[in-house]
Amino acid sequence: TANPMAGGVIETVRGCTEKCTYCQVIQQFLGYRLIKRETEVKRLNQLTELAADGLIHASRSGKFQVFISDDLHPPPLRAVKYRNERLERLRIWKDHVQNMNMICQARVEIGQDPELANAMSDANIRMIYAGVESDNAENLKLVKKRQDPGQVHTDLTTLNGMGFSVVAMTIIGLPYDTEESIMRLADWVTSISKYQTVNWLTPLPATSNWNDLTPLNENGDILQEGEMRPYHLYTGRQFVHYDERWSMKESQDLFDRYSAKLTPVDDLYQRIFRILRTYRLRLATTSRDLGDTIGARLADATESLRSWSDPVSMAGREFGENISQQVGELVEKLKSVSQPLANARREVADTIGNHVSELSVSLKTLAGPISPTSDELAADISGRITELSEMLNRVVTESHIRGSVRN
């Protein structure tokens, strides 16, 4: 297809085993719920089929990207039941993800669980989004993030050594942060991970911060009764609550200085989308070339009819086949399905092109002197036109089905 998805998405879990105060997942899903094992496998197989049909972009080697949308895919060791279940499932995945490069969200302490980390690697999980949050132990304790900065450093070193591309997610504006400590965090996190993200502490719905922190309006002033929160600013790029350390404008400036030190994962995705855009342009050119080729073949066939206008009328009367009208209808049908045909699988378009070429040859033969076999040839041409029309109808149907799957 000329417009494939950049990657696939699979969901296997809703919720989280942890209770970090800044995260809304806890109240949103109330627990940690897994789908059935067989449903996971079915979804993986569906992704493979979508990639094979050209609906997910794949490299020339057949590899394609899959994002596991779970808020916490592999649980930590302390969540024994869920951790063991995920381990067994990852071992099953191994036989269903051969062409996938997978991305998931995990906690950094996966680095302390080599059995699970190796199973993730064997299941082609190549990139991990890990919540580092802060390098300050008091900050982490306050937001109930159960990890130690020193151990985080060790765990990230382990994960890097195993070949994972780690995206370290950080939060700034926590209670013990200062401008100096925030900039030191940037220096540390870039030394221990390949990519980084940052968000200001933001009071999200269904978190304690929603009620505990005093909201600001879009001008950076205290939100007055009756005013609506400026949700368009709830992006993590600035404070949207009152904090005596930084105003909204000051927080925006500090965010920019912090971000400038990072290697943002957005750069990676921009590169992927550039590659995908180049692929689409190349494919569009190929499709246009293919369309031009089919058009040229049809033009030849139509010209044969034009140059044989009187004999065609006679042949239609003698052989009972209204070839001229059938070809005219076929030409119109081809014009009407030009876009679905351009998006069809290459082998389908090639087959249609070959049939058109063969039809053109047969029409040229029929345009010659009438022979004892002309009636059979006319019937054969009529059958070819019917077959081509049915093929084009199938192309349109498949195009509608693909559109429904995507939506």
Classify 195 as helix, strand or coil.
strand
Superfamily classification of domain 8-263: Aldolase class I (3.20.20.70)
Q: Any bridge partners for residue 68, and if so which?
A: 10
pTM: 0.68
Measured CA to CA in angstroms, residue 31 lies from 80, 85, 129, 216, 302 at distances of: 15, 16, 21, 31, 67
Average pLDDT, the chain: 83
Residues 128-149: tens digit of each pLDDT:
999 999 999 999 999 999 999 9
Most confident of 151-160, 280-289, 338-347, 370-379: 151-160
Q: What is the pLDDT of residue 394?
A: 85
Contact between residue 110 and residue 159 where contact means Cβ atoms under 8 Å apart: yes
Task: Tell me what the mean pLDDT of segment 40-52 comes to.
Answer: 95
Q: What is the pLDDT of residue 136?
A: 95
| Two tokens, residue 248 | 């909204």
Give the DSSP letter string of 213-246: SPBB-TTSSBPPTTPPP-GGGTTSSS--B--TT-
Q: What is the pLDDT of residue 148?
A: 94
Cα radius of gyration (the chain)? 31
Of the listed ranges 147-151, 314-318, 333-337, 369-373, the least confidently predicted one is: 314-318
Residues 326-341: tens digit of each pLDDT:
777 777 777 677 666 6
Q: What is the pLDDT of residue 357?
A: 77
Q: What is the pLDDT of residue 278?
A: 52
| Two tokens, residue 181 | 């400590």
Domain boundaries of the chain, sorted by first residue: 8-263, 278-406
Residues 62-97: tens digit of each pLDDT:
899 999 999 899 999 999 999 999 999 999 999 999
Q: What is the pLDDT of residue 283?
A: 47
Q: What is the pLDDT of residue 294?
A: 56
b/e map 395-407, b = 16+ CB within 10 Å:
bbebbeebeeeee
Q: Which amino acid is at 2?
A: A
Residue 372 — very low, low, confident or very high, per pLDDT cuts 50/70/90? confident
Residue 289 has pLDDT above 60, yes or no: no
Q: What is the pLDDT of residue 344?
A: 64
Q: What is the pLDDT of residue 22?
A: 87
Q: Does 22 or 251 have the greater pLDDT score?
A: 251
Task: Tell me what the mean pLDDT of segment 109-129 comes to.
Answer: 97
Contact between residue 344 and residue 395 where contact means Cβ atoms under 8 Å apart: yes
Residues with Cβ < 8 Å from 26, sequence gap 6 or more? 15, 16, 18, 19, 20, 206, 207
Q: What is the pLDDT of residue 320?
A: 55
Residue 202 — very low, low, confident or very high, per pLDDT cuts 50/70/90? very high
| 205 DSSP 8-state letter | T
Residue 274 has pLDDT above 90, yes or no: no
Residue 18 has pLDDT above 80, yes or no: yes
| Two tokens, residue 21 | 């105060």
Strands (E), 113-237: 125-133, 165-172, 195-200
Architecture of the CATH domain 278-406: Up-down Bundle (1.20)
Q: Residue 14 phi/psi, 5° resolution?
A: -125, 135
Residue 23 — very low, low, confident or very high, per pLDDT cuts 50/70/90? confident
Q: What percent of the chain has pLDDT over 70?
A: 79
Residue 243 — very low, low, confident or very high, per pLDDT cuts 50/70/90? very high
Q: What is the pLDDT of residue 265?
A: 78
Task: Tell me what the mean pLDDT of segment 358-383 comes to.
Answer: 77
- 163: alpha, beta or left, given left = phi > 0 and alpha = psi -120 to 50? left
Q: Which among 352, 346, 347, 339 has a CA at the least distance from the CA of 392?
A: 352
| Two tokens, residue 87 | 């381990």
Q: What is the pLDDT of residue 307?
A: 46
Q: Which among 393, 274, 276, 279 has a CA at the least distance from the CA of 344?
A: 393
Q: What is the pLDDT of residue 315?
A: 44
Q: Where are the alpha helices (DSSP H) in 6-107?
A: 25-29, 37-52, 80-93
Q: What is the pLDDT of residue 296?
A: 56
Q: Does 398 or 299 have the greater pLDDT score?
A: 398
